[in-house]
Structure 1
Amino acid sequence: MSLIAVTTLVTGSVAHAAEVSGPAADPAVETRCPWVGSDAPVEQRIDQLVSRMTLDEKLDLVHGSAVPFQFVGPTYAGTISENPRLCIPQLGLSDGPAGVGNGHTGVTQLPSPMALAASWDADLANRYGATIARESRGKGADVVLGPTVDLLRDPRAGRSFETLGEDPHLTGELAAAQVEGIQGEGALAQSKHIAAYNQETLRNLPANDSVVDERTLQEVYLSPVQDVVDAGTASVMCGYNRLNGVHACNNTYLLSQVLKGQFGFDGFVTSDWFATQASHAAANAGMDLQMPGGCHYGPRLRRGINSGAVTTAKLDDMVSRILRPMFRFGLFEREDDGSPDDVVTGPEHAAVAREVAEKGMTLLKNDDALLPLGDDTGSVAVIGDAAGERVIGSGGGSPHVIAPEIVTPHDGIAERARRAGADVTFDDGSQAGEAAEAADVAVVVARKWSTESKDNRDIRLSDKDNEMISEAAAANPNTIVVLNTAGPVEMPWLDDVAGVLAAWYPGQEYGDALASVLYGDSDPGGRLPATYPVSQADLPAADADRFPGGSYDEGLAVGYRWYDREGIEPLFPFGHGLSYTTFDYSELQVDGDGGAGTTVAATVTNTGERAGSEVAQLYVSHPESASEPPKRLEGFRRVELEPGESERVRFELDERSLAQWDVDADRWVRGAGGYTLSVGGSSRDLPLTGDLAVEETTPVSEPTPPPPPGAPEGDDPAWTKIGNVARCPVESLYAGMIGAISLFGLPPGDQATRPPRNPTDEG
């Protein structure tokens, strides 16, 4: 049975939590704290409040309240304590990018961000973010630690499932939509991470240094950050990595010159947990909030203020940046009646989880149209304990969410097959060949675990799973493989199976969503957000110097751009995904001069006999003199079409769509020359092409500003670093442990309150 039908309804506290603003403040409070309930401009209210704050109160606002040896919390991932004297409410920061985490129960286990990315659906991303925000507020938290704007540079990365794919445009569009969804429900979005944080190995240690040239950094890794800033993200988290030798959380170029200067970001920058490795340098570089504790930004920052190493004006700016979104989102007036113990999931949220799972499931292969299954399928063998007790709904680490219950692949298929009059058997994989041979169709479910804290050694399934698939395929040519993995994997058995479906850690509604796709109740809606290579050796960062070595000398050629540039044939290309129907593209039209407002339009027609979904994709090829990759994704539109129906899709370009980063001018420039615009259903299937001539080279952004006065070039001076370690030994220890743990990883958490199980003989 679907969890949509059985999950507890969202009750009073959650309904209240969905309101963006609460009732008017008490008159006595307004007299004592005139910034509460005031109609004055936000900046005036900030100035009023900051002018009343003591040094102690300012310092208390720029760090979390976790005590020594407390890795997270208290209550949420992190908390800023309230200040009753000045009517400043507590600020609770809650994981994470795939739903409410931190071990809380009574929440919805949404599919992974990679599953969302496979939907290529910005409206769905907005509702995904809104769902997380409603549940976070229902638990009493104020800040959602998401979305993730890191790219999938290499599928071996432990947090690959937490990304929105390998392309900066796809990531930026979907992350921006999530920000709008989160903040539309009155929570603050904290987009993460800035920048080039793409591996777990030795994170937070000097050996984890992303060496990236300026052009690649701006065009690839910072581009999605600009998108979420443009969408109004309240906060940005700096990552665990060093960038060109300087830790991201005290990196002046990233935080002050680019984020706050070039992008115009006016919110606050938060450290990742125990990523604060400097005190004075971090503050002067642009990090505003330390998490989860407060030694570096408590006694150590106080010493910096008293010595003049950090100015009072800098501290006031840090405080103001935290207060600004708190005022904008009405936190001073909001009644805080959410509780960590409240049940905040419900049928509406479970329905979002199922929709994401269905629209994200990506059909990679479907020989002889074996799928969808029909009434002529009399028996189905479901094979693999990943279809039962070892099901994965959610990956590990900060994105991990505990479901009330997961609909397993076996249970979902069994229920749907029963309605179709088919028999279903189950085998845990130990007798895969026998089970497959005895059925009309074999559905083999494989898995590969991935988690924050540890990278994977390879992109291979386990030997056990590969053998299980091969045995089933040898016994039954009608074998469908369901891959529940964090990202691309090798498929040595591909030629022997009839079909392959990628599921991407699809959350609590996994089984019902899978059954719906297998039986054609819903079209497989997914398109690949990442390229599948034939082998690991084909990966852009396959060289150990790149991953985990830290050299980004593949440059702009990330993901599909690498395969295009190097002439490598992928196993399945970026953007690929099959439907149960077919589509035709026609009537390409390009209007404009290449600047903002230029439009590209095409007609998409469903030429098959079933309703289905298609993702129309726009790619731009630059003049050869620009030294860009062969093509870049610059637009996409998801359409749902009935048989014979056509829809005109329209892409509108912005200033960066045809631009490149000029390292000499430190700005975006649209170069003169001829551009090719291509539209189709994947990066390797582009039937429509048109040309566009740009007459002259034009700057399309302001230059990156220089470092502000007093900004550091790197870490604290040696004597200050010694003082940090001596005064903050626990924080320093934990900072090192973050990296040490990456050598062996952390154990996986519970997938669900009610543990998943293998079916018994009785079902």
Structure 2
Amino acid sequence: MLLVTLWSSLLALTAQGVAQDYGTSPPVYPSPPSTGIGWEVAFTQAQAFVSNLTLEEKAQLVTGTEGPCVGNIGGIPRVGFDGLCLQDGPLAIRQATYASVFPAGLTAAASWDRGLIYLRGLFLGAEFKGKGSHVALGPVVGPLGRSAYGGRGWESFSPDPYLTGVAAENTIWGMQRSGVQACLKHYIGNEQETHRNPALSPNGTTIEAVSSNIDDRTMHELYLWPFAHGVRAGTASIMCSYNRLNGSYGCQNSKTLNGLLKTELGFQGYVMSDWQATHAGVHAIKAGLDMDMPGSIGGLQNTSFFGGNVTRAIKNGTLDQDRLDDMARRIMTPYFYLNQNEYPPVDKTEPTLNSNYPPYDHPFTFGASNVDVRNGHGQLIRDIAAAGTVLLKNTNDALPLKAPKTLGVFGNDAGDLVNGQYFLTSAFQNPFGYEYGTLPIAGGSGTGRLSYLVSPLEALKARAALDGTLVQYILNNNLLTQPSGLGAIVPVPEVCLVFLKSWASEGSDRASLEADWDSSAVVSSVAAYCNNTVVITHSAGLNVMPWANNPNVTAILAAHLPGQESGNAIVDILYGTVNPSGKLPYTIALSESDYRFSDITNSTKLLETEDPNAWQSNFTEGLLIDYRHFDYYNKSVLYEFGFGLSYTTFDMFDLSTDMPNTTINPLPDSLPIAPGGNPSLWQIACTVNVTVMNTGDVAGAAVPQLYLSFPPIPSPMPTPLNVLRGFDKIWLEPSESQTASFLLTRRDLSYWNVETQEWVIPIGAFEVTVGFSSRDLWLKGQLTVTERD
């Protein structure tokens, strides 16, 4: 047993704020001004720039306008400012031609690979910059993934805040290293699409958007956690969300914007609204909103909560000039920090992709048309897609394939697209997406325009040709579920591959967690015909798998949303060119009913309400979402969080813990807040080491994971039994071993004390467990915290 003594009295870290009762949102004013921490030179440039602007020009700088991009800040030629171009989204520069479509955030998280996630951000950023886009609207950490039914969970990373935080910071580092501003979104509690915006009742009453009601501890330890990572990583901007938060709209909630984000986390950049998420002018500005997008109200030009209202408010004294100057400095500081005063012009083709055509109210500088920014990024996309594919079942080494004589390919997800290469179609227009064609990405503003797509069937045919394999296929799910649907397949293939898909899109939540298009019947039909059936899922979220224990289903691969290299990536895995190393970034339960602990708020009564405030979503599950819920209530699952098989095997041994110093000296509570919060929170408290060895016959990557079990915490709400607090991805040749080191910060060891409004390390014994998933834990140790004499 390992014993480490830490002085708890050193680790009560003060954070500014007011205790927040459940269901309320206390006022926090004024909005704290930026001081440019970490961006000092750029901040000085921004100060000089803003001091040279007129009042009207400052108002223009904070107000969106029509233009060539999804969001636009008009240019000010008098001072040499060409404006800002803001573009979707988290996996591609959505509207652009000759641009790449990367794997979704969900897929990146399933890779558990910091390096690949960083490169994904780096290459994404390079493409945005090449098209003249100053701001990339991503990455996404809200929704975090409270509900498995969330329609946009695939845009984010994982319902675990630690994994999501690590993925967000590496994405931001990569994007901004390329020179493009990252916009971390959607802040905060944006955990469902259903009634995310206000609507009119049948009688014409305005029914306000759903209110996510979150207690203070859950806010800090769950939903705010990855945003802290993003702020510390230096994200230029943060997008506030559509929903209300404890009764107040996210883009005018002074507690979350002024209190949590700008004060407690020390955010130095600017807050922009989601599109049409602004519901007030001066009130929203005082509450912390810095930029209104798209600027107009309801798409009506020359009407805005900002714009002329800002200049009038300054002149009549209802808004301080200092606050407007702070908004402008916050916007311009990352602009200068990333040297965007010297930047490629906007691709001239972009205006044709928007509803508003030139001439615009403000000047924009255009460059060449159809600039090709893909720059050989296809190989990285293929690598990430393969790394984010999780092998869930592999009976009798059904995989990898070894030049089978015959191969069957089944399901409407296997073939090429038949409805075009742009997945903008909304969930309202098409709740299940398109029937035919593989699913490389999902829909809505987080989608991308594919310049090409390699389908699974196309890639399988090419690979089979090398082996002389006979490939037969049926892609019609309706036919496959008929009694004689497989009669045309002769002989019975040695291996049958079934491709399933699950669509989701912005604007609507998922209706089911099973794959779409009668998928269970398709699997049952094929498995009854073929006793070596391999199922591959492409899904905008997790799937329950009622067919998983069918003995004729010999292997299962969760391939998530792989992007444009879909077919090549899955063939790499199926044939063993790439040893699968993906791990689940969520839990797959035994049935849909197991996920009812955090349902989407939606009912017939609510849909028919005349009560303006009827839509209330109480996050009563607190900290217990995903694996935290299943572990706390000791529920069996099909495949646990962090699970994933390999074509090789691994061993783990030699757990040890090192302290950076023999004594941890106390830190003053009066340390200035820096981006990410109190700097002492991010200091390393201890290091846990473990050795991992490849005991199999082929090279592969292991993902050792560290979980912490906290000592008893004086809190009325349940504390999770185990929480992820470290992971690594280690490539190992056969018989090779390496040491994985997990750096635990004071924040990792702390909980949020709602009474003292501090991060506190609790007194007692922490259990440290390390393994290969949340329920496959090999080694245990202990850290003990005692009172200081």
Tell me whether the two structures share a fold, i.e. TM-score over 0.5.
yes
What do the CA deviations read for 1:53-110 (whole angstroms, capped 9, x no partner)? 11110100001112xxxxxxx2221010110011122111111100110x22211111
CA contact (8 A) 2:130 2:344 kept: no
User: d(CA) in 2 for partners of 1:87 and 1:207?
Assistant: 41
User: d(CA) in 1 for partners of 2:517 and 2:346?
Assistant: 51
1:197 to 190, 201, 204: 190
CA contact (8 A) 2:392 2:556 kept: yes
2:232 to 210, 226, 230: 230
Deviation at 1:305, TM superposition (A): 2.1
Partner of 1:482: 536
1:172 to 162, 165, 184: 165
Partner of 1:332: 341
Partner of 1:54: 54
Stretches of structure 1 that go unaligned for 5 or more consecutive residues are 1-38, 67-73, 699-763
- CA spacing shift, 1:506–1:498, aligned 2, 3 Å: same
User: d(CA) in 2 for partners of 1:239 and 1:320?
Assistant: 22
The secondary structure found in structure 1 opposite 2:46 is: helix
User: d(CA) in 2 for partners of 1:523 and 1:404?
Assistant: 28
Name the stretch that deviates more: 486-495 or 229-238: 486-495
What do the CA deviations read for 1:439-460 (whole angstroms, capped 9, x no partner)? 1000000111111111112212
Partner of 2:424: none
1:565 to 632, 648, 651: 632
* 1:384 corresponds to 2:407: no
User: d(CA) in 1 for partners of 2:466 and 2:713?
Assistant: 60
CA contact (8 A) 2:217 2:754 kept: yes
User: d(CA) in 1 for partners of 2:540 and 2:787?
Assistant: 44
- Code of the aligned partner of 1:422: T
* 1:608 corresponds to 2:655: no
CA contact (8 A) 2:42 2:334 kept: no
- CA spacing shift, 1:546–1:561, aligned 2, 3 Å: farther
Stretches of structure 2 that go unaligned for 5 or more consecutive residues are 1-38, 199-207, 297-303, 351-368, 418-436, 604-614, 665-682
CA contact (8 A) 1:437 1:472 kept: no
CA contact (8 A) 1:147 1:192 kept: yes
Q: How many corresponding residue pairs?
A: 651
Percent sequence identity over aligned pairs:
37
CA contact (8 A) 1:213 1:555 kept: yes
User: d(CA) in 2 for partners of 1:44 and 1:499?
Assistant: 59
Partner of 1:291: 293
User: d(CA) in 1 for partners of 2:447 and 2:760?
Assistant: 41
Name the stretch that deviates more: 429-438 or 499-508: 429-438
CA contact (8 A) 2:195 2:210 kept: yes
Deviation at 1:333, TM superposition (A): 3.3
CA contact (8 A) 1:99 1:401 kept: yes
Deviation at 1:461, TM superposition (A): 2.3
* 1:81 corresponds to 2:74: yes
What do the CA deviations read for 1:234-256 (whole angstroms, capped 9, x no partner)? 11110111110001100111111
1:215 to 196, 214, 217: 217
Alignment TM-score, normalising by the size of structure 1: 0.83
CA contact (8 A) 1:387 1:409 kept: yes
User: d(CA) in 1 for partners of 2:371 and 2:531?
Assistant: 46
Partner of 2:457: 410
CA contact (8 A) 2:598 2:619 kept: no
Deviation at 1:50, TM superposition (A): 1.9
* 1:493 corresponds to 2:547: yes
- CA spacing shift, 1:349–1:636, aligned 2, 3 Å: same
1:304 to 313, 320, 323: 313
- CA spacing shift, 1:492–1:89, aligned 2, 3 Å: same
* 1:588 corresponds to 2:655: yes
- Code of the aligned partner of 1:313: D
Partner of 2:775: 684
- Code of the aligned partner of 1:617: Q
- CA spacing shift, 1:207–1:274, aligned 2, 3 Å: closer
- CA spacing shift, 1:546–1:559, aligned 2, 3 Å: farther
Name the stretch that deviates more: 524-533 or 295-304: 295-304
Deviation at 1:646, TM superposition (A): 0.6
CA contact (8 A) 1:279 1:297 kept: yes
CA contact (8 A) 2:99 2:372 kept: yes
Deviation at 1:309, TM superposition (A): 2.2
Partner of 1:259: 261
User: d(CA) in 2 for partners of 1:635 and 1:64?
Assistant: 40
2:573 to 514, 517, 526: 517
- Code of the aligned partner of 1:93: L
Name the stretch that deviates more: 623-632 or 91-100: 623-632
Deviation at 1:310, TM superposition (A): 1.6
Partner of 1:393: 440
More helix by share: 1
User: d(CA) in 1 for partners of 2:400 and 2:187?
Assistant: 42
The secondary structure found in structure 2 opposite 1:598 is: strand
2:527 to 473, 479, 497: 473
CA contact (8 A) 1:671 1:696 kept: no
User: d(CA) in 1 for partners of 2:741 and 2:89?
Assistant: 33
The secondary structure found in structure 2 opposite 1:686 is: strand
- Code of the aligned partner of 1:515: V
Partner of 2:359: none
Q: How does 1:399-438 map to 2 (within 5 A)?
A: 399-428=446-475, 429=477, 430-431=479-480, 433-434=486-487, 435=489, 438=492
Partner of 1:622: 710
User: d(CA) in 2 for partners of 1:654 and 1:555?
Assistant: 23
- CA spacing shift, 1:248–1:47, aligned 2, 3 Å: same
Partner of 1:365: 393
The secondary structure found in structure 2 opposite 1:348 is: coil
User: d(CA) in 1 for partners of 2:442 and 2:109?
Assistant: 15
User: d(CA) in 1 for partners of 2:335 and 2:601?
Assistant: 43
CA contact (8 A) 1:382 1:427 kept: yes
Partner of 1:184: 177
Partner of 2:679: none
What do the CA deviations read for 1:322-352 (whole angstroms, capped 9, x no partner)? 0111111112233537554334343621111
Partner of 1:455: 509
- CA spacing shift, 1:337–1:161, aligned 2, 3 Å: closer
Partner of 1:7: none
* 1:109 corresponds to 2:137: no
- CA spacing shift, 1:631–1:540, aligned 2, 3 Å: farther
CA contact (8 A) 1:546 1:553 kept: no
CA contact (8 A) 2:314 2:321 kept: yes
- Code of the aligned partner of 2:444: G
Alignment TM-score, normalising by the size of structure 2: 0.80
